[in-house]
A and B are shown apart, each in its own frame.
Chain A
Amino acid sequence: MTEPQDPFSFSSYPPIDPINFDLIVIGTALSESVIAAAASAVGKTVLHLDPNSFYGSHFASLSLHDLTSYLTSPHHPPRAASGGDSDYFGVDLVHQHPCSDVEIAFCDDESESFLRENSRKFNIDLGGPRALFSADKAINLLMKSGASQYMEFKGIDESFVYEANEGLANVPDSRGAIFRDKKLSLKEKNQLMRFFKLVLKHLDDTQEEKISEEDLEIPFVSFLEKMKLPPKIKSILLYAIAMVDYDQDNNEVCKDLLKTKDGIDCLAQYSSSVGRFPNAPGALLYPIYGEGELPQAFCRRAAVKGCIYVLRMPVISLLMEKVTGLYKGVRLASGQDLYSNQLILDPSFTVPSLPSLSRRDVLTERLQMLSQRDIKGMVARGICITKSSIKPDVSNCSVVYPPRSLYPEQVTSIKALQIGSNLAVCPAGTFILYFSTLCNDADEGKKLLKAAMNALLTLPVSENSESIPSVQSDSADIKPIVIWNAFYIQKLITSKFEFISSTPTPDGNLNYNDLLDATEKLFGQMYPNEEFFPKATSPEDPKDEDEDEDEDDDGEDSGITLES
């Protein structure tokens, strides 16, 4: 792993050797890192580049200062380097900042100076809120790939659901949680637990009782109604456990109507996550030092397998064969040309769409294809720093605001995550809260997030305060004061497999399942004959390992390090 000493003198950078690779990956976000690790694991030669000075791209965890400058800086235009081979046609890459509509606010001067002094003590996630289910794909992939040895986790203590006029209620997500719950009626407890049992029976291969095929195909919300579950339970199951985004009762706006079978899968994942690891009582885990650890762990995994890493190295153009229009390689900001069979591109890079159809040839057509982006709406994200928890005595917790819980026009659910200092992401006595929601435009998204924040927090008064639907809080307790907050919008771009592949942008989910599914699919398209992290890669070559802990991996679950 080598890094240039001076980021601004690309030309003085020693040339990369060799110059031919099986795969060049640009960007170190989670998908790119996973593909780099997976390709390295099957023996491909991989070069992994990132224009940034940090690992993780959209999934990085940054200090407060770095985060602010990342969000506010315009994209750094790479200096066009000349030279190169005339056999190839160079197509300049355009970098689109992945975050738009950025808004940052401080509470007061005092907190501003506090934050400035402690900036380095923060590891703030760019792609938050994000956590892992103890039994989800990410955890399994971490264990399968061996990347888990570079990470440590801690359980999220509590999961809450926000109820209109009621405030936070524990998500009754397990037998014990239903028993302890103080807000459900006895009847509701019985109904909910019976539904869980029905699902478990359905999933248990030794049991005869199954949910019928027809029921599996109908919308989950209809199935829940068929099971005569009251609205409150329905809402908990749909939004707090299955974590669907759109109002399932509103067919006009719902973009992700969940089928029963998928709903059941979500429940299954949730319930197998609860208590999977003895130190984590809930369903969710969070990496110590932030989510940026996750792509980094895969990068380390890739590096162990021979992948070459170069940070702070922008790629300025793609090299295409003039005649066939086929991808050949990339030109770095340092001016060096490197060649590979395949390329994976961070989704924030694109080629300029050609204004005219002046050159109607293969190359143009291909470039046209590349410039077209499949944008599936956007996600609004918000980050708050507070000096007290939204729930006394609870440091780390997740919150879901189901549709219509904040105001009647709220069509999407909002996910939030509070992480405290015991996860080494912020100075002692502070908390970071992440919020996200899907939206159609920036204003709508921000309005939703602000309403969600206002429900639990006291936001700093901003000059351009729009009319935010106020949510009454009947409780007299003082809401934590937000000393810093930020809003930004990210476009949702799906992954794409073409002659140049690109990875998806961070989605609006709390976990990484969809991202990893897309990543695995992409890998399969690129290397149809290769296994995605073959099992045999787990035993290490001790010589490759700089810090071989020499733990004997006998149990499946022993791969995850959990701090209690």
Chain B
Amino acid sequence: MHGRPRKALKPEDEAASSAKAEKLQQHVASSSFNSLFLSLSFSSPSINSNRANPVGCRYSKEALDLSAKLLEINPECYTAWNYRKLAVQHILSNSDSDPQSIFSDELKLVENALRKNFKSYGAWHHRKWVLSKGHSSIDKEMRLLNDFQKEDPRNFHAWNHRRFVAGLMERSEEDELKYTEKVIGANFSNYSAWHNRSVLLSNLLKREAEGYFPKEKVLEEEFQHVHNAIFTDPDDQSGWFYHLWLIDQTVKNEAPLLVSSWPSHGSSITIIGDNGLRGCGLSLLNGTQSDSGTLPIILYFNQAVKGINSSTVAIESELLTKELVWKPLAMNNSSTAQVWVVYLDLGNMELQQSKTYSVEINIGHSSGILSSNGNHYGDPSQISFEVFVQTANTEPTEGQGGKRTTWNDTNFQKIDHFQELDSIFTADQNHHIPKSLDWCTEEIVKEITNFRDLLSEYDCKIGKLTLARLLTALDMLSSQHDGRKSNTEEVLQLYTDLMKLDPTHSLYYKDERSLISLKQITSTRDSLLPYCHYHKDATETFTGHVCLRLQNLSLSRMGSIENLLWVQMLDLSHNELQSIEGLEAMQLLSCLNLSHNKFGSFTALGPLRLLKSLKVLNISYNELGSHSIDTTRYLCSSPVAHTEEFAWDRFETLTGSVNATNFWEAFLLFGSLALTELNISGNAVADENFRSFLVKVLPTLKWLDDEELS
């Protein structure tokens, strides 16, 4: 069904073309134009030694003819295309040349080459290059394209070229859209055509072209159009892809919006201070970890934004002593991030006991906050919270380092009523109401009805997936809207079914399911409460920590972080996590248990580097060091990539003695952390060598693998 693969040559064709090529080669060999192949082979130094070679000879007519012949036989020879580009440029540099005829010869050659193999990248590229020079008529292009697209309407090379030519000709997008309609009408399994449709329609909608406004009307028509494809043949995925794009167009918010923050609006933070709140010992909530004396403020947006600074986000408070610098929480050093953080420095401040300090944050009242595709912040919003300073009534935290954090079930106690959660879930957590929400909801509800119908007729994977996505989208819309019954249970069931139905993609479904279950768990105060526990330390006394325990939930991916910004102690053990993308937003996190998961590399733990408060980390019983080739390494930055500040000097000093140059990953991770406890046992990497390396990298470390370091 799918496409037409690049044909392997039929034996007879192959024989014929190799015979031709041989003849050509003989010809070359016998003639004095070896220079052609000299100049064709760019690996040879001939390109730079053109002083030795008279230039005229390198681009002689016969050499050009030979390369043309070569390309007509084998259009894949991109070296020859390149040679021709250089040759053309050389010839054009002669003042008496006629660019029009030269370029039209090139176009003819490309056409012949394309007739030989119209999936040749080199040939299409050459054509584009020639046309972009602007010396040739483009009238013929559409005719040629129609020819090629008639042969194979799905060829994406031709579609790419079509977009290029349409742009060059300034052909109207409406006409091009009609063309996609025609092609899709003839055979709707055509990803390229649907794709082009989405590109054209995006532009038309964006500029509100005549007949393409309002967006709602156009999208409704498109939904109907693609339904025909999906219902006619649910097994064909091309329509589904377009449908997914349509859902996205329906629900997506172009404008950046604030999703959540810490502290949240209307909350009050109790700081338990001792020693007149000087220096270390500053606590947040009931925690005790932060010894930096800073209070973080975290802003969590619906998409990556840039331009968060003291002018776009105005903070008014007595606690504010100096200009604040907002930091993007991103792994890639970019100035765009979904989560931004700023630290209020309270360490050097005289804070009055039993006094309530109020903090007011105004976001987006002056423009400057932009999404990555240039949309302005949607809805100016305000967050205000209170900070209450209380005298410590617990034991001073001296000797804290001597206690080891244990994660046994006996160390936790269920919480019946956790008042502090109230402040986390405030009623107006989402204080934005996007325009035309009613229409979105209505449209999604319509789609859901349609696909329930389809599934009742015909059980198909992609139909289930779409239904799950639609229900999720509906929940998302209605959570902003009203208290409609959520469809989480059904969505979870759908993903569970899909994992069985379609084992090939079960990892994807698992990830989606993880996200949904996390959303379900974190959606309300009541749903979250069962997962919150008081932590007791090894001596069975309550530390007063509240630990969020999300262990044994088969999670393969983290999500709903926006609801977890308050968490200081997190237990994610006994899951199937391979990555903790997004965890960097949890700036309050000080104790983290990731044991018994599936982390395969230190790179996968990269987000931890941004958790400045992290003190206790358990990554025992993972797969660190088990995989000789770590594929995540290619997705993440490496020291070679020059995007990371890598302290080579320190690294060499530390590893110089031990033969462990391959510990750079671990160094990159731990080098920027100040852990006091680390458990890395049960990983392939954790041999003696490595442990002694860790001790050097982490001078703050007091406990390693349940052993107290002397």
Chain A positions near chain B (C-beta within 8 angstroms): 175-176, 178-181, 186-187, 189-191, 193-194
Contact yes or no, A190 B185, CB < 8 A? no
Query: Would A187 and B457 count as touching, CB distance under 8 A?
Result: yes
Closest 5 CB pairs of A and B: A186-B231, A190-B231, A189-B232, A178-B232, A189-B231
Q: Does B502 touch A at the CB level, under 8 Å?
A: no
Say if the beta carbon of B215 comes within 8 Å of chain A. Answer: no
Taking a contact as CB atoms closer than 8 A, the residue among A176, A178, A186, A194 that contacts B227 in the complex is: A186
Residue from B185, B227, B458 within 8 A of A180 (CB atoms): B185
Task: Give the complex CA separation of A422 and B495 in angstroms.
Answer: 57
CA of A181 to CA of B231 in the docked complex: distance in angstroms? 12
Among A176, A180, A187, contact of B231 (Cβ-Cβ < 8 Å): A187
With A181-B228, A191-B457 given, can you name 6 additional A-B contacts, CB distance below 8 Å?
A175-B233, A176-B185, A180-B185, A186-B227, A186-B231, A190-B457
Interface CB pairs A-B, < 8 A, 12:
A175-B188, A176-B188, A179-B188, A181-B228, A186-B228, A186-B231, A187-B454, A190-B231, A190-B234, A190-B454, A190-B458, A193-B233
Question: A399 to B185, alpha carbons, bound, how many Å?
Answer: 22
Contact A193 B232 (CB under 8 A): yes
B 207-251 binary contact with A (CB < 8 Å = 1; else 0): 000000000000000000001110111100000000000000000
Which single residue of chain B is at the shortest CB-CB distance from A185? B231
Tell me, in angstroms, the Cα distance from A438 to B458 when the chains sit together: 39
Tell me, in angstroms, the Cα distance from A193 to B231 when the chains sit together: 9
Determine if B146 is an interface residue (Cβ-Cβ < 8 Å): no
Chain B residues with Cβ under 8 A from A191's Cβ? 457
B185-A186 in contact (CB<8A): no
Contact check, A176 vs B186: say whether CB atoms are below 8 A apart.
yes
Interface centre among B231, B234, B453, by most chain A C-beta atoms within 10 angstroms, is: B231
**Chain A residues closer than 8 Å to B187, beta-carbon distance:** 175-176
Q: How far is the CB of A306 from chain B (nearest CB, A)?
A: 38
Q: Give the CA-CA distance A398 to B230 in the complex, in Å.
A: 28
How distant is A229 from chain B, measured CB to nearest CB, in Å? 11
Task: Give CA–CA (A194, B454) in the complex, Å.
Answer: 12
A516 shortest CB reach to chain B, Å? 32
User: In whole angstroms, how far apart are the Cα atoms of A161 and B185 in the complex?
Assistant: 20
Asked if B352 CB lies within 8 Å of chain A CBs, one says no
Instruction: Say yes or no for B41: interface residue by CB 8 A criterion.
Output: no
Alpha-carbon distance between A186 and B233 when the two chains are bound, in angstroms: 11
Q: How far is the CA of A190 from the CA of B228 in the complex (A)?
A: 9
Closest A residue by C-beta to B189: A175
Assembled-state Cα–Cα distance A186/B223 (Å): 12
Q: Which residues of B sit under 8 angstroms from A176, Cβ to Cβ?
A: 185-188
B450 within 8 A of A: yes
**Cα of A178 to Cα of B231 in the assembled complex, Å:** 10
Query: In the complex, A54→B233 CA distance in Å?
Result: 50
- CB-defined contacts of A179 to chain B, threshold 8 Å: 185, 188, 228-229, 232-233
Q: How far is the CB of A198 from chain B (nearest CB, A)?
A: 12
Given A175-B233, A179-B229, A186-B188 contact (CB < 8 Å): no
Contact B457 A175 (CB under 8 A): no
Residues of chain B lying within 8 A (CB to CB) of residue A180: 185, 228
Interfacial chain A residues near B231, Cβ < 8 Å: 186-187, 189-190
Using A176-B185, A194-B458 as known contacts, say yes or no to A187 and B453 having CB atoms under 8 A apart: yes
A188 nearest in chain B by CB position:
B231
Chain B residues closer than 8 Å to A178, beta-carbon distance: 232
Q: Which of B616-649 contact A (CB under 8 A)?
A: none
Question: In the complex, A190→B227 CA distance in Å?
Answer: 10
Contacts of A189 in B (CB 8 A): 228, 231-232
Q: A187 to B186: give the CA distance in the assembly, Å.
A: 21
State whether B186 touches A186 (Cβ < 8 A): no
CB distance from B682 to the nearest CB of A (A): 47
Per-residue A-contact encoding for B427-450, CB less than 8 Å = 1, 0 else: 000000000000000000000001
Quick check: B458 and A186 within 8 Å, CB to CB?
A: no
Contact A186 B454 (CB under 8 A): yes
Question: What is the CA–CA distance of A176 and B458 in the complex, to the nearest angstrom?
Answer: 20
CA distance A194 to B458 in the complex (A): 9
> B164-200 vs A: 1/0 string, CB under 8 Å?
0000000000000000000001111000000000000
Shortest Cβ gap from A105 to chain B (Å): 41
Question: Bound complex: CA of A187 vs CA of B228, how far in Å?
Answer: 10
Q: Which residues of B contact A181 (CB under 8 A)?
A: 228
CB-CB < 8 A to A175: which residues of B?
Answer: 187-188, 232-233
Chain A residues lying within 8 Å of B185, measured Cβ to Cβ, are: 176, 179-180
Q: What residues on A are CB-neighbors of B233 within 8 Å?
A: 175, 179, 193
- Chain A residue, CB-CB nearest to B151: A278
Docked Cα-Cα span, A180 to B458, in Å, equals 20
Q: Enumerate chain B residues within 8 angstroms of A190, measured Cβ to Cβ.
A: 231-232, 234, 454, 457-458
Name the distance in Å between A368's Cβ and chain B's nearest Cβ: 59
Q: How far is the CA of A179 from the CA of B239 in the complex (A)?
A: 11
Nearest chain A residue, comparing its CB with the CB of B454: A190
A191 to B453, CA, bound (A): 12
Give Cα A179 to B234, complex, Å: 12
Closest to B233 in A: A193
Which of B186, B233, B453 is packed against the most chain A CB atoms within 10 Å? B233
Q: Mark B18-43, 1 if CB is under 8 A from A, else 0.
A: 00000000000000000000000000
Most chain A C-beta atoms within 10 Å of own C-beta, residue among B228, B232, B234: B232
- B453/A186 in contact, CB under 8 A: yes
Chain A min CB distance to B441 (Å): 21
Taking CB atoms, residues of chain B closer than 8 Å to A194 are 457-458
Q: How far is the CA of A116 from the CA of B229 in the complex (A)?
A: 50
| Contacting residues, chain A, for B450 (C-beta < 8 A) | 186
**Cβ distance B239 to chain A, nearest Cβ, rounded Å:** 9
Closest to B224 in A: A186
CB closest chain-B residue, reference A194: B458
B457 cross-chain contacts in A, Cβ below 8 A: 187, 190-191, 194
Bound-state CA distance A189–B230 (Å) is 10
> Which of A179, A186, A190, A193 gathers most chain B CB within 10 Å?
A179
Q: Mark B465-490, 1 if CB is under 8 A from A, else 0.
A: 00000000000000000000000000
Query: Separation in Å of the B10 CB from the closest CB of chain A?
Result: 13
**Shortest distance from the beta carbon of B493 to any chain A beta carbon, whole Å:** 23
Say how far B4's CB is from chain A's closest CB, in angstroms: 15
A190 to B187, CA, bound (A): 16
Nearest Cβ in chain B — how far from A280, in angstroms? Answer: 14
Q: Contacts of B232 on A, CB cut-off 8 Å? A: 175, 178-179, 189-190, 193
A334 to B229, CA, bound (A): 68
Name the distance in Å between A104's Cβ and chain B's nearest Cβ.
Answer: 42
In angstroms, Cα B546 to Cα A310, docked, is 109
Closest-by-CB residue of B relative to A191 is B457
Q: Which residue of A lies closest to B229 (CB)?
A: A179
B189 shortest CB reach to chain A, Å: 8
A190, B188: Cα distance in complex, Å: 14
How far apart are the CA atoms of A187 and B234 in the complex, in Å? Answer: 11
Contacts of B227 in A (CB 8 A): 186
Q: What CA separation (Å) do A190 and B458 show in the bound complex?
A: 8
| B450, closest chain A residue (CB) | A186
In the complex, which residues of chain B have a beta carbon less than 8 angstroms from the beta carbon of A193?
232-233
Residue of A nearest to B150 (CB): A278
Q: Nearest chain-A residue to B228 (Cβ)?
A: A179
- The distance in angstroms between the C-alpha atoms of A179 and B233, with both chains bound, is 9
Least distance between A179 CB and chain B CB atoms (Å): 5
Which A residues touch B228, using CB under 8 A?
179-181, 186, 189
From A174, which residue of chain B is reached at the shortest CB distance? B187
Q: Mark B71-113, 1 if CB is under 8 A from A, else 0.
A: 0000000000000000000000000000000000000000000
A193–B233 CA distance with the chains assembled, in angstroms: 7
B458 / chain A contacts, CB cutoff of 8 Å? 190, 194
Shortest Cβ distance from B231 into chain A, in angstroms? 4
Bound-state Cα–Cα, A175 to B230, Å? 11
Shortest distance in angstroms between B243's beta carbon and chain A's nearest beta carbon? 13
* Nearest CB of chain A from residue B11's CB, rounded to whole Å: 16
Chain B residue nearest to A278 (CB atoms) is: B150
User: Could you tell me the distance between the alpha carbons of A186 and B453 in the complex, rounded to whole angstroms?
Assistant: 9
In the complex, what's the smallest C-beta–C-beta distance from A465 to chain B, in angstroms? 43
Output the nearest chain B residue to A228 by Cβ-Cβ distance: B457
